[in-house]
Chains A and B, each alone.
Chain A
């Protein structure tokens, strides 16, 4: 089976590079993006199975990004990441079409389990 292609989006560069490296070590083909704008560009450039998206980012926020993704790539699954106490924000994301949400800090094994569920690879 081909490796899962994941786009991980967060404005904290150090977080993105670390998570991408950890996913790569687990056989997942992970790519990072540091902004909503960069994420949308990446999605146009190459195919992904899932996008993992932080809700709060400078410029285009997670909600704006998910709306655009669902318009241009309705089948692309999105998993939202939210900060502490951001349950309402996560619920908004689900209404906008997110597959699921996780609260930071994320347990990598939980994230991978959701990635597999989102792509039907359980």
Chain B
């Protein structure tokens, strides 16, 4: 089997694992919202007899409970909207897309992990003008998400990770910053090398790595280069496999 095919198969397997991981995580988020809605319905049921008896405040309580249920329903809709776009992104061909949407989506998908790590996640998008760049939408989204995960491993509790998108003369620049250096172990360095390969497969390049500054910068060029799966020689170039 040709090296390119092997690499592509490896990349596909990795995509599938990522897809499953995201789906499972978002299912947990949905279940959390549904559990709350379940309890709110229970409290609504508990309150109803008191409202029928005319107890002071009980009718207002029913209204308040209905609004709180609506919040959880809206939360479920937001998750499902993102999940639907996420699932479709696997089918979408490489092409020209709105980079803002994909950065926003990757940050949304990483929010659960950030919360579990007690880290704030912030997204900063350009005000005017939509950067239109050529990339593999699923892989770029995966690269941003996995970049955030990599930073999350090294970030101190209570810190913030910022994902920002800025237009660049060559395309669009995605910057992930935590202020804390990459976790210094073999696994983290290996994952950084894998991430570099993923960014290349998405049609971009890694400009800076978080090894010493907690900053990961990708460039997604306007004119997509021939970026089929990278061969093993290119994986990790640009300091991505260096020690820490």
Contact = CB atoms under 8 A, between A and B. Distances in A.
Interface of A: 11-12, 14-15, 18-19, 21-22, 25, 56-59, 83-84, 104-106, 108
B27 A18 contact: no
A18 B28 contact: no
Interface of B: 27-28, 31-32, 34-36, 38-40, 42-43, 46, 68, 71-72, 115-118, 157
Nearest to B115: A58
B64 to A, nearest CB: 11
Looking at chain B's contact residues, the main secondary structure is helix
A59 B68 CA distance: 26
Given A25-B46, A58-B116, A18 B36 contact: yes
A59 B39 contact: no
Contacts of B40: 14, 18
Contacts of B42: 18, 22, 108
Which 4 residue pairs spanning A and B have beta carbons closest together? A105-B38, A18-B39, A105-B35, A58-B116
B36 A12 contact: yes
A93 to B, nearest CB: 17
A22 B31 contact: no
Given A15-B32, A56-B116, A59-B157, 20 more contacts: A14-B40, A14-B71, A14-B72, A18-B36, A18-B43, A19-B39, A22-B42, A22-B43, A22-B46, A25-B46, A57-B116, A58-B117, A59-B118, A83-B28, A83-B31, A84-B27, A84-B28, A104-B35, A105-B35, A106-B35
Given A19-B39, A22-B43, A22-B46, A12 B32 contact: yes
B39 to A, nearest CB: 4
Contacts of A106: 35
Contacts of B31: 83-84, 104
A85 B171 CA distance: 44
B68 A21 contact: no
Contacts, number: 48
Looking at chain A's contact residues, the main secondary structure is loop
A58 B118 contact: yes
Nearest to B72: A14
A44 B39 CA distance: 28
A51 B48 CA distance: 29
Nearest to B45: A22
B44 to A, nearest CB: 10
Contact of B39 (A11, A15, A56): A15
A63 B118 CA distance: 18
A121 B157 CA distance: 41
B226 to A, nearest CB: 42
A69 B68 CA distance: 33
